[in-house]
Chain A
Amino acid sequence: MTWLLIVRVLGTLSCVLAIVASWFVARRNFGALKESPTISIGIATLSAAAFWKLSAFVAIVALPVATIATANYHTFVGIHEVEACSQCHVMRPMANDLHDPSSDTLAARHYKNGYIPTGQCYACHADYGFSGDMAAKMEGFRHLARYTTRTYEEPIVSRTRFDNQQCLKCHQHKTAFESVHVHHDVIERLTSSNMSCLNCHGRSHPTRSSRTPGSPEYQALVKPPVFAEGDHE
């Protein structure tokens, strides 16, 4: 929460300063600055041309770079929270199912057993974050473009094969995992994602049919999710 406040304060400062500085730069006639008198700022005295060129650098380069850096906090860090994912209504079925104590999906079982205390979506879909690869970033931008232009159909379907490393990074080499003999028989196929963990462990999220508009479960699945305090990082 503290980071979010810092981002908001810094982001607001850089945006407001960029707007004000750009307003003055836009009105400036740079060609006529040679005849202007010098400008005194504290202990420094600058020619008007030097002052306005420095102001232009601050307004058009420095402040926009600061704004991009702070606002991208939401793009790369804010998305770690389930609340951020479920702002897109097509993701609400996953968030509602996650919080449903009667659900037996893999995601719901992880949540109700407290296996992942915070950032539950991101824990298994970490490719989207700052450490993810370029392909995941491009896929994220594609999702954003499709959602904001409403060029998608429900139920949404994943185009990519799920990387089993997202499961194995927690489970592999743990006693519970290693004690199951069949894991040793298929470990190569699991590590290369040629075999899905879901083959034996059940579906991860609600079925496509339940997420289809008009299905009996649809309205309950797409209602705005309620978040507990512990859901936040």
Chain B
Amino acid sequence: MNELRWEAWAVMLASVVSLIYVWSPGPYPMGAFTFIAQPLFLVAIASYAWKVLKELRSKRVL
């Protein structure tokens, strides 16, 4: 599997934003969670899935 460095950093950043939103659900934390954290999570998950798929194909599992 390729390195998952930037995906892990994206998850860390998004988790910090989410943690702030969980404890202080005001409009600005909500905006940061909705428009920054959630897209970061989704991009990280999509990139992870793409790398797993590539590895499975390279090993002829799929």
> Which of A's residues lie within 8 Å of B, judged by CB?
7-8, 11-12, 14-16, 18-19, 22-23, 25-26, 28-31, 53, 56-57, 59-61, 63-65, 67-68, 70-71, 74-75, 78, 84, 87-88, 141, 144-145, 147-149
Contacts and interface: CB of A to CB of B under 8 A. Distances in A.
Contact of A61 (B21, B33, B37, B48): B48
B31 A148 contact: yes
B33 to A, nearest CB: 6
Given A64-B44, A144-B30, A148-B31, A71 B2 contact: no
B45 A30 contact: no
B16 A64 contact: no
Interface residues of B, number: 35
Interface string B44-60: 11001100000000000
A110 to B, nearest CB: 25
A30 B4 contact: yes
A1 to B, nearest CB: 14
Contact of A26 (B5, B21, B27): B5
Contacts of B22: 7-8, 11-12, 15, 70-71, 74
B55 to A, nearest CB: 9
Interface string B7-21: 111011011101101
B11 A64 contact: yes
Contacts of A29: 3
Nearest to B47: A60
B38 A88 contact: no
Nearest to A17: B15
A218 to B, nearest CB: 20
